[in-house]
Amino acid sequence: MALLKEKIGYGFGDMASSMFWKVFSYYLPFFYSNIFGLSLVDTGVLLLVTRIWDAVSDPMMGAVADRTRTRWGKYRPYLLWVAAPFSICGILLFTTPDWGYAAKLVWAYVTYILMMTVYTGINVPYGAMLGVMTDNSKEKTVFSSFRMFFAYGGSFIALFLWDPLCAMFGEKMGMSPSTSWQMSMVVIASCCFVLFLLCFKMTRERIQTVSDASLGKDLKALVTNKPWWLLNGASLCFNLFNTVRGATVAYFFVDIIQRTPDDHIMLFGLSLLFYSGLFLGVGEVANMLGVALAVPITARLGKKSTFIMVDALLIVFSIIFFMCPVNPTGFWMMLLLQVVISILTGVMSPLVWSMYADVSDYSELKYRTASTGLIFSSASMAQKFGGAIGGAAVMWLLDGVGYIARGDSDASAAVIQPEGAISCLWYLMTFIPAGVALLSMLIVWLYPLTTERVDAIVAELNTLRGESRLPILPNRTR
C-alpha cells in the first residue's frame, strides 16, 4: 500500500506539467497571433505541425522508457534527467527575437518542436509510472486522482497569475508585451523545475517490468487492442473539448467581454474585473473539486457509466452557456457555468488515466507483453492530437471569419471585430465543444472494459503472478 507522501509526490509531477500545458493550450495561440506577430493561418499550421510531431514521438518515447533500466527504475529517472531542459525550453518558447517575419517563424517552429519533444521526454515516463507504482486497480484511481488534483492546482496557479504577472512586468516595470510574457514564463518554469525534482524524490516504482518482447510484437499487440482504440478516440475528444474552449477564452474576453461598457462583477460590494485569468483560474479550482469527486462517483457508477454521464452533462451546460447575456448578470452566469463544466471535466481527467491503466492490464493478460509505457504514451498522444486539432481549428476558423489580429506594438489596442468573428467566438465556446462531447459519448458506449470485466482481468493477472508463471508471462515480474 503506497504512502500518502508518495501520492502527493506523484501529484507534483503533473502539477509541473499542467502549469506549462495549460499556458500553452490557453495562451500560446493568442501569444503567437497577438504578441509574437504571426498570422492566424501560420499560427494554425504551426500548432498543427508541431503537435502532430509531438504526438507521433510519444510512442517512440514510450518504447524507449519501457526498455530503460536504472537503479531508480524505468520511468522515474526521466523526472531527474529532463527537468532542467523542460524549464529552459519553456522560456525559449515565449522569447520573441527582434528578427524579420520569416526568421521569427523559423524560431517559432524550432522552439515549439523542441519544447514538445522535451515535454514528451518527461511526461510519457511520468504517466507510465502509474502502471508500476501499484497493481491495485482502485489504488490506481486514487493515484490518478492525486495526480489530477495537483495538476489542476498547478493550472490554477499558472492561469490565475498569468495576467497579473504579465501586467506586473509590463505596466509596472515598463517592459514590452513580448518581454513581459517571457519573464512571466521564467517564473512559471522555475516552479516547474522544483516540482519535478520533488516528484522524483518522493516516489518509487514497486512493480518491476522487463520488456523482453520485440518492439514489433508490442506494436502489433497495441494496434489489435480494441479497448485501446476506443479509449484513444474518447480521450482525443475530451482533450479537443478542453482545447477548443481553452484556446478561445483569451480571444473571447478581449473581443467580447472587455469591449462591453461594464466588464466587472460585484462580490461582497466590491467591483471585480471579469478577465480571462479569473475565468480560467476559477475553472481550475472547480476541476480540483471534480477530481475529488471522481473516486466516489466511479466507485458507485463504474468508469464507463461515469464517462458517458459526464459527456451528456457537458453537452447540456455548453449549450446553456450560449444563452448568457453580455452584462454583469450574464458574467455571473458564465462564471457559474464555468464552475459546473470544470467540475465535470475534473471528474473525467483521472478517469481517463485510470482507464488506460485498465487497458494496460487487459493488454498484459491477452498479449503477454508489458508495454505499459507504450500504452500510456498513447494517452499523451491523444491529448496532443486533441490539442493540435483544437488549436489549429480555432486559428483557421477565426481567420476564415475575418478576425483582426494584433501585433506586439498594439497588443492592447481597441479593435472592433466583424460580426462573423464575434459569432464564431460564441460557437467555439458552446456548440462546437458540445458536438465533440457527443462524439465522445458515442465512442465510450462501445468501450468493452466494464467494472466486472476489469475485476476479472486483475484477478487472473494476480493469480498468474502469484504462481510465478514467468514462461507464460515473460514480460512482467515482481
Q: Are 92 and 114 in contact (CB under 8 A)?
A: yes
Map out the domains of the chain with their CATH numbers. 4-202+213-466 (1.20.1250.20)
pLDDT, one tens digit per residue, over 301-324 is 999 999 999 999 999 999 999 999
Place of cell 458515442: 442
Secondary structure in 3-state letters for 281-298: HHHHHHHHHHHHHHHHHH
Share above pLDDT 90 across residues of the chain, in percent, rounded to a whole number: 41
Please give the residue that has the higher pLDDT: either 264 or 295: 295
The gap between the terminal CA atoms of the chain, to the nearest Å, is 15
Residue 20: closest CA among 83, 106, 104: 83
**Helix locations, 302-430, DSSP H:** 303-321, 328-367, 372-400, 419-429
Instruction: Give pLDDT, residue 466.
Output: 62
pLDDT, one tens digit per residue, over 141-183 is 788 888 888 988 898 889 888 888 998 999 889 899 999 999 9
- Grade residue 34 by pLDDT with cuts at 50, 70 and 90: confident
Place of cell 487472473: 460
pLDDT, one tens digit per residue, over 62-121 is 888 888 889 899 999 999 999 999 999 999 999 999 999 999 999 999 999 999 899 989
Q: Are 263 and 254 in contact (CB under 8 A)?
A: no
The secondary structure element, H or E, covering residue 209 is none
Task: Name the burial class of residue 173, with classes exposed (0-12), middle (13-18) and buried (19+) by CB atoms within 10 angstroms of its CB.
Answer: exposed
- Grade residue 211 by pLDDT with cuts at 50, 70 and 90: low
Instruction: Give pLDDT, residue 82.
Output: 96
Instruction: Give pLDDT, residue 321.
Output: 96
Indicate the residue type of 337.
Answer: L
The secondary structure element, H or E, covering residue 273 is strand 270-273
Instruction: Give pLDDT, residue 474.
Output: 39
- The pTM score is 0.71
Cell of residue 122, nine digits: 518527461
